[in-house]
């Protein structure tokens, strides 16, 4: 047997003992994988990044081969976290529920459920992006096991850190191998986003340049006001449209997508607050909200938000006399709820008294009923050492009936 060719033309790849033709082919593939990124406005990428920033589970719907997995790699790189990909369709329910491990004395210690290796890696890192691929090809038993992972972040006996983000991908049942409609309980735990391809983006990518994913960053200074504004907007909307609090579609396909429920409205609240705090674009916020509560409820909410235009509640509390109560009843309610939520987020006597000055404007305008719920919530925050402010006079009968001012005689 002759010795390996060590000449320049037949040199093996360093440390891999590859024949020259394979080494050259691998070098060609490495060159093809080389690419760069450039800033590019993509509402689709921004919507995904916004939902992940808000730490809401995301489900990407799209045809096979359009770059969902590549998008996850780009997102993980942009966040600076590890990516763990789990192909849901090739796993058993026990892979997510955990496998029983018998200890020394099961009667005393119980039988722990051993988590899979990917969950252990994420727990050790303390953060990461968990990507469930081919979710719609997973049978109902596997989908049921995934419920606990998505809702409780528990895999076997292991609890995933809060900093782990969860994204899944699914193909429409018509194009998925052995596709299934998602069960309503699982579908109702995701923000559903439609993932499409832009031919111009793909063409430019073939030339070696792909769009960069910009991850929205929460401005800490905006966070308190963003939460208060979002609470006022969503609570005010649902007060005006109580029929949209919960509405499960009648057909199986729609039940496997986004629809309104108390759970998804909570998701919408988090997405809207994140949008306010990051300055995300309107189109991205709109897509995220519709992905949480469905197109019908999402369109109504967006129309409501477009005409709401709530001021920053912290600025209102800093100078209550400088702001007038909105004219419309639905705007009044959302405005007052936002102000009370802002007081709750940073409760001091000064801010509490400023809150009553704002609510007093409803009494002066002859609409104390609009502020009734906000008044009860604000009164419940009172420290027993704080005196009762003058602005509370118009609500005394209501508050005494509700027991919100037990210390007032």
What is the Cα–Cα distance from 183 to 391, expressed in whole angstroms?
A: 51
- Region 373-391: what's the mean pLDDT? 86
pLDDT reading at 232 higher than 70 = yes
Among 2-11, 126-135, 358-367, where is mean pLDDT lowest?
2-11
Confidence of residue 69 (pLDDT cuts 50, 70, 90): confident
Q: Is the pLDDT of residue 34 over 50?
A: yes
Rounded (5°) CA angle 16-22-28: 105
What are the CA-CA distances from residue 165 to residues 54, 72, 75, 405 (Å)? 9, 11, 11, 43
In this prediction the pTM is 0.83
CATH architecture of 58-189: 3-Layer(aba) Sandwich (3.40)
Q: What is the pLDDT of residues 74-120, one digit of tens each?
A: 888 888 899 999 999 888 898 888 877 776 666 666 777 888 999 99
Q: How would residue 404 be classed by pLDDT, with cut points 50, 70 and 90?
A: low
d(CA 128, CA 85): 11
Phi–psi pair at 155, nearest 5 degrees: -125, 110
Q: Which pLDDT belongs to residue 364?
A: 84
- pLDDT per position as a tens digit, 313-327: 999 999 998 888 888
Q: Which residues partner with 169 through β-bridges?
A: 60
399 band by pLDDT with thresholds 50, 70 and 90: low
Q: Indicate whether 366 pLDDT > 80.
A: yes
Q: How far is CA 94 from CA 2, 86, 144, 211, 355, in A?
A: 52, 14, 11, 39, 52
Tens digits of residue pLDDT in 181-210: 888 999 999 999 998 878 888 888 888 887
Range scoring the smallest mean pLDDT among 64-73, 211-220, 294-303? 64-73
Cα–Cα dist 10/15, whole Å = 14
What order do you get walking across the sheet with 58-61 strand by strand?
83-87, 128-133, 164-170, 58-61, 191-194
Query: What is the residue extent of each domain of the chain?
Result: 58-189, 313-402
Q: What is the predicted pLDDT for the residue at 11?
A: 45
Contacts of 319 (CB under 8 A, 6+ apart): none
Q: Which of 248-257, 352-361, 381-390 comes out lowest in average pLDDT?
A: 381-390
CB 23 within 8 A of CB 13: yes
pLDDT at residue 218, as a whole number: 93
Max intra-chain CA distance, the chain:
105
Query: How many Å apart are CA 145 and CA 157, to the nearest integer?
Result: 13
User: Can you say how many angstroms the Cα of residue 345 is from the centroid of all Cα atoms in its chain?
Assistant: 21
Angle between helices 372-380 and 329-345 (to 10 degrees): 10
């Amino acid at each position: 047997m002759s010795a390996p060719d060590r000449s320049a033309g037949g040199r093996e790849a360093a440390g891999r003992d590859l024949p020259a033709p394979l080494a050259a082919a691998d070098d060609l593939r490495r060159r093809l994988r080389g690419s760069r990124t450039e800033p590019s406005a993509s509402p689709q990428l921004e919507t995904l990044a916004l939902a992940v920033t808000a730490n809401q589970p995301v489900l990407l719907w799209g045809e096979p081969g359009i770059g969902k997995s590549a998008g996850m790699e780009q997102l993980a790189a942009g966040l600076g976290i590890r990516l763990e990909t789990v192909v849901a369709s090739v796993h058993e329910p026990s892979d997510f529920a955990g496998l029983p491990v018998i200890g020394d004395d099961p009667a005393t210690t119980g039988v722990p459920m051993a988590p899979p290796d990917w969950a252990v890696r994420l727990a050790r890192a303390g953060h990461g992006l968990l990507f469930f691929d081919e979710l719609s090809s997973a049978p109902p038993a596997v989908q049921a096991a995934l419920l606990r992972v998505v809702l409780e972040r528990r895999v076997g006996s292991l609890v995933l850190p809060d900093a782990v983000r969860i994204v899944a991908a699914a193909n429409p049942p018509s194009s998925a191998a052995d596709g299934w409609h998602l069960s309503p309980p699982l579908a109702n735990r995701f923000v559903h986003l439609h993932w499409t391809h832009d031919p111009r983006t793909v063409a430019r990518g073939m030339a070696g340049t792909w769009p960069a994913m910009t991850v929205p960053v929460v401005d800490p200074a905006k966070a308190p006001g963003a939460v208060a504004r979002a609470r006022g907007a969503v609570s005010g909307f649902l007060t005006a449209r109580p029929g949209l609090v919960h509405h499960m579609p009648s057909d199986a396909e729609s039940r496997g997508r986004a629809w309104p429920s108390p759970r998804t409205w909570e998701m919408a609240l988090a997405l809207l607050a994140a949008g306010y705090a990051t300055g995300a674009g309107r189109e991205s916020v709109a897509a995220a909200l519709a992905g949480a509560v469905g197109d019908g409820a999402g369109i109504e909410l967006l129309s409501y938000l477009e005409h709401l235009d709530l001021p920053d509640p912290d600025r209102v509390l800093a100078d209550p006399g400088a702001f007038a109560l909105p004219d419309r009843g639905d705007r009044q309610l959302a405005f007052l709820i936002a102000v009370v939520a802002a007081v709750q987020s940073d409760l001091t006597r000064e801010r509490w008294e400023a809150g009553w000055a704002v609510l007093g404007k409803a009494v002066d305008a002859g609409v104390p009923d609009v502020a009734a719920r906000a008044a009860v919530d604000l009164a419940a925050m009172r420290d027993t050492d704080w005196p009762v402010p003058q602005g509370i006079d118009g609500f005394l009968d209501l508050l005494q009936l509700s027991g919100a001012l037990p210390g007032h005689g």
